Each structure stands twice: as structure tokens, then as C-alpha cells.
Structure 1
Amino acid sequence: MIKLCIVDDHAMVRSGLKMLLNEKEHITVIGEASEGDEAIKLALLLKPDVVLMDLSMPHGKDGLTATKELKQLLPSVAVLILTMHDDDEYLFQGIHAGASGYILKSAPHEELLTAIRTVAEGNAYLYPTATKKLMSEYLERSAAGDNGRALDMLSDREKEVVSLVAKGYSNKEVAEQLVISIKTVESHKANVMDKLGLKTRPDLVRYAMKKGLLNFE
């Protein structure tokens, strides 16, 4: 029996999914949450096999952040992202956050059931076109010699922060230049380091030099 928690900010979506899944002999819905922090607390309490996670939850912690934190706390729990976003960036970030699978809300019910069974067995599941996207991305990065550190993973604001940090500006000076808070600068830096798999400031500077970000405006 697969023990499952549903995380979605829409009560009607949770209710519909719960009704659908509880009809299946091999699945039981043991809990539901409307945002990320609630989902993490629920998972720690109930220890589900699979967490069905929405990405966009505007009234609390988002699905990507919750997935990353949940996987750090409970590595054995499989997170299956169920979202309306058929978007490369969400897909890549979801996998990077530790999700075992990614499926669209528009998918047929049978595909959702297959995805749940697949991740519960410890395997990965991606909807068909997502596999093609990942392969294309991998081949592009390999050809560029990036080892997965693609510049297009960064937003323009993140590139601005990287450029200024690499030029030697302090967090305070970066904040003043971009008219944002120091906390926001620190958050952007942390996100960049995480996305690119970098550990130290010198690593960040070397990356900026390699990618021409010292001249980024």
C-alpha cells in the first residue's frame, strides 16, 4: 500500500485527487496540505511514501522550496511534482530540488497513477515530452562543456548580482547599486551558488570570468 500526502493550495483539487486516489486498492491518502511549511510538518508526522506536490502556492511556501527542504529532512520520501507548468525552468529546478518525478495536471488519470507507482518504487518519472527536454538540455550543455552549469539557468537579476560580486563589490554595495536589500542580494547569491553547484566566492568569480559576466550590464 502506497501512503500518500497531497499538497495543493486549492481545496477542490485536493478533494478531487483524494477521491480519485482512495478508490485505488494500492494507494491511501493519509494527509493533505495547502502550502509548503504545512506539507513538511505533515510529512514529518505521517512519514508518507509519496508526496504529491504542487509548485505554485501563493499563500505559503512554494513547492520547489518545500521539496528541497523535505528531501533534506526525509530523503526516503519520494516527491512527485504535479503542476500546470509545462516549462523547462520549472522542470529543471524541480529535479534539482530533489523531486523523483514531474507530471502535468492535464495528464490522464492513468498516467498519474503510473507516476505515483513509479516514484514509490524508487524510480524516476517524467511526462513524455519532459524526457526529450532533459535530453536536449544535457546534450547542449555537454557540447558547450558546461558540466551542467548553464548560464540560462540564471535570471537577469542573478546575473547582475554575480557580475557585481565578481567585480569585488560587497553585499552592501551591490544592494545600493541595484536598489535592493542586502538580504535580497544574499538570497540571489545563495540561489546562484545552488543552481550552479558552486561552493566558494572564488568559484563564483571564475565562473563569471568564464561566462563573460564581468562585462554584463
Structure 2
Amino acid sequence: MNGGTAVVRVVVADDEEMVRTALRAILDAEEGIEVVGEAATGAEAVSVVRALRPDVVLMDVRMPEIDGIRATEQILATLEDPPRIVVVTTFENDAYVYDALHAGAAGFLLKRSAAEELVQAVRLVACGDSLLYPAAVRALAGRHTRRETPAPAWVARLTGREADVLRLMAAGLTNAEIAGRLAVGPATAKTHVAAILAKTGARDRRQAVIAAYESGFITPG
């Protein structure tokens, strides 16, 4: 979180005022979370985020001027210490989630999510984790996997244990859950995850999981 503060500072970007008001009410009611700004368009979201430098942005996909994907790209490309961006989507009818994840979004949240899921999502990404729905990532990656291309070199460089860890990452398990599943210490699980990120060239778990599907290392379904 920016500035080392214990309060998670959030910007809400959505073209519907009622949605912004509802999200603000939910988050402002939580201890340690503060909505510091709102935006009604993609361009406004970029401007507000640059001015306020929040920790987390809730970014609607379909907005006027520029959509949430382009806004996400601009924010992450131009800020030295950018916020964590969660794309808010209906998912089933949204073809842009995959592009959002590739643009660098920390994950996505369904608009029908319960209030507690929203709060958990904000806290999760603020701590540096990624917000992935395994079934959704499988479906999205499956649409874009190019099966005719050979597997990238990193696949062969994975150790057997790293391969196991990557599969568990794709299933949505945290480091602590991976450690429990494999009967290893949390530090060991964290070391395996770091090695996977290095070998795949991924910035974070989200990118590593997408790479696993795109490479064919994990096949959708």
C-alpha cells in the first residue's frame, strides 16, 4: 500500500452513479478501507488515479471515452508505483476480461458478487495477491490458446515439484494452501512460486497461471 499506511485507499470507476454509490457505501463501512475518489469514464479514471494515487482501483470494463481495459493499460504504463486494479465485470457476457488480465489487472470481480466478496477482494489485492476465479480463467485462456504452437522452453525447465505447484496455483490455492497440500513449509512453497515466476517470466501469479494455459501446460476442462 502506498506510503506505508494501514488504510487501503480505493478509487471506484463506473459509469453508473448508483453502482459507484453502492460500492462506496460498502467499502467505507469497513475498517481500514477508504474510498478516496470516483470516476464515471475511463479517461476520468486515469486522471483521478494519477492525482490521488490510490492503493486499489475498482475498474468497470464498459465506460465512455475509453473503456476499462485501455484505462488499465494507461495507468499501469505511466505510473511508477501503480495501484492494484480489479476489473469489475459481468463475466459471462464480457469478452474483455482476458485482455484486462494481460493488461496487468490484478484480477476481476463479478458484479453480482456479495458485499463480503468485494471487501475481501480489495483487501486481497492490496496485499499484493491476485484475484482469480479458476473456472473463469480456464474458460478465458481456452479461447485464446494456440494449440498449434510448440510449448515454450520454460515448460521443460520446471521441476516436478514446481509443476505441481503451478497446477495448484491454477486451481486458485494460496501459498499457505499449497504448503498444506504438499506437506511443505510456507517458505518452501513461496520459494517454488518465485522460481515459477522467474522461469515463466511472469510478473505475478496471475500471469503465470495464464501462461500455463496458453502454453498448453494446463488444458482447459
Deviations 1:32-75 (A, max 9, x none): 00011111111111100001000011x32111110100111125
Unaligned stretches of 5+ in structure 2?
Answer: 1-6, 153-221
The 3 A distance-change label for structure 1 pair 84 and 73 is same
Equivalent residue number for residue 69 of structure 1? 74
TM-score between the two structures when normalised by the length of structure 1: 0.61
CA–CA separation in structure 2 for the residues paired with 1:23 and 1:147: 48
Aligned mates of 1:113, 1:30 — CA distance in 2 = 15
Which structure has more relative contact order (CA 8 Å, sep 6+)? It is: 2
The question of 1:94 aligning with 2:93 is answered no
Question: By how many angstroms is 1:87 displaced?
Answer: 4.8
SS in structure 2 of the partner of residue 28 of structure 1: strand
Deviation at 1:146, TM superposition (A): 6.1
Cα distance, 1:147–1:3 mapped onto 2, change above 3 Å: farther
What is aligned with 1:60?
65
Is the counterpart of residue 40 in structure 1 residue 46 in structure 2?
A: yes
2:75–2:82 contact (8 Å) kept in structure 1: no
Given that residues 86 and 104 in structure 1 are in contact (C-alpha distance below 8 angstroms), is that contact kept between their aligned partners in structure 2?
no
Alpha-carbon contact 1:52-1:80 (below 8 Å) kept: yes
Q: How far apart are 1:134 and its partner, in Å?
A: 5.0
Once the two structures are superposed, the pairs formed by residues 172-187 of structure 1 within 5 Å of their partners are: none
Aligned pair partner of 1:114 in 104, 110, 120: 120
Secondary structure at 2:95 match in 1:
helix
Match of 1:132 in 2: 138
RMSD across aligned positions (CA): 2.2
**Deviation of the 1:80 alpha carbon:** 0.3
CA-CA distance at 1:136 after TM superposition: 4.3
* Letter aligned with residue 148 of structure 2: A
Deviation at 1:145, TM superposition (A): 1.9
Q: 1:86 to 1:46 in 2, by over 3 A?
A: same
Indicate yes or no: 2:181 matched with 1:145. no
Q: How many residues align?
A: 145
Pairing 1:148-167 to 2, within 5 Å after superposition: none
Provide Cα deviations, 1:183-216, integer angstroms capped at 9, x if missing partner.
xxxxxxxxxxxxxxxxxxxxxxxxxxxxxxxxxx
Counterpart of 1:196 in structure 2 is: none
> Contact 2:13 / 2:59 at 8 angstroms: preserved in 1?
yes
Q: Structure 2 CA distance, aligned partners of 1:40 and 1:135? A: 27
Aligned residue type for 1:125:
L
> TM-score when scaled to structure 2?
0.60
| Change over 3 Å in CA distance of 1:80–1:72 after alignment to 2 | same
Among all aligned residue pairs of Structure 1 and Structure 2, give the percentage whose two residues are the same amino acid. 37
Query: What secondary structure, in the 3-state scheme, does the structure 2 residue paired with 1:118 have?
Result: helix
Q: For the Cα contact (< 8 Å) 1:104–1:127, is it kept in 2?
A: no
Structure 1 outlier segments of 4+, above 4 Å: 134-138
